[in-house]
Amino acid sequence: MRVLVRRCWGSRPAGGGPDARQIPQWRALAGRGASPGGEDGRGVRVREKPPWRVLFFGTDQFAREALRALHAARENKEEELIEKLEVVTVPSPSPKGLPVKQYAVQSQLPVYEWPDVGSGEYDVGVVASFGRLLSEALILKFPYGILNVHPSCLPRWRGPAPIIHTVLHGDTVTGVTIMQIRPKRFDVGPILKQETVPVPPKSTAKELEAVLSRLGANMLISVLKNLPESLSNGRQQPTEGVTHAPKISAGTSCIKWEEQTSEQIFRLYRAIGNIIPLQTLWMDNAIKLLELVEVNSSILTDPKLTGQPVIPGSVIYHKQSQILLVCCKDGWIGVRSVMFKKTLTATDFYNGYLHPWYQKDSRARPSQCRFQTLTLPTKKKQENKIVAMQQCIK
The CATH number given to whatever domain includes residue 330 is: 3.10.25.10
Residues 70 and 218 in one domain: yes
pLDDT of residue 264: 97
Residues 192 and 333 in one domain: no
pLDDT of residue 42: 55
Contact 62, 209 (CB under 8 A): yes
Residues 224 and 257 in one domain: no
Give all strands (DSSP E) within the chain, no chain letters: 52-58, 82-89, 111-113, 124-128, 146-150, 173-180, 191-198, 278-282, 285-293, 315-318, 323-327, 332-340, 342-345
Cα–Cα–Cα angle for 242, 248, 249, nearest 5°? 135
How many structural domains compose the chain?
A: 2
Residues 185 and 301 in one domain: no
Residue 17 is assigned to a structural domain of this protein: no
Decide: helix, strand or coil at residue 85.
strand
Residue 87 is assigned to a structural domain of this protein: yes
- With b for 16 or more beta-carbon neighbours within 10 A and e for fewer, the 258-275 pattern comes to eebebebbbbbbbbbbbb
Nearest to 203 by CA among 215, 191, 211: 211
Residue 302 is assigned to a structural domain of this protein: yes
pLDDT of residue 377: 78
Residues 277 and 163 in one domain: no
pLDDT of residue 387: 43
Residues 200 and 58 in one domain: yes
DSSP state of 253: G
Residues 197 and 270 in one domain: no
CATH code of the domain covering residue 116: 3.40.50.170
Decide: helix, strand or coil at residue 97.
coil
- The whole-model pTM stands at 0.85
Q: How many CB atoms lie within 10 A of CB 157?
A: 25
Could you give the CA distance from residue 208 to residue 203 in angstroms, rounded to a whole number?
Answer: 6
Residue 210 is assigned to a structural domain of this protein: yes
Residue 382 is assigned to a structural domain of this protein: no
Could you give the CA distance from residue 108 to residue 128 in angstroms, rounded to a whole number?
Answer: 20
Residue 258 is assigned to a structural domain of this protein: yes
Could you give the CA distance from residue 61 to residue 305 in angstroms, rounded to a whole number?
Answer: 43
DSSP state of 65: H
Cα distances (angstroms) measured from residue 291 to each of 75, 208, 226, 316, 344 = 42, 19, 46, 16, 11
pLDDT in tens, 125-181: 999 999 999 999 999 999 999 999 999 999 999 999 999 999 999 999 999 999 999
Which residues in the chain show pLDDT less than 50?
1-33, 380-394
* Residue 263 backbone phi and psi in degrees, to 5: -65, -40
Residue 256 amino acid letter: K
pLDDT of residue 303: 75
E strand or H helix that includes residue 307 = none
pLDDT of residue 85: 98
Residues 226 and 264 in one domain: no
Domain ranges, residue 272: 250-372
Residues 220 and 315 in one domain: no
Residues 297 and 325 in one domain: yes
User: Which residues are CB-contacts of 273 (< 8 A; sequence separation ≥ 6)?
Assistant: 204, 292
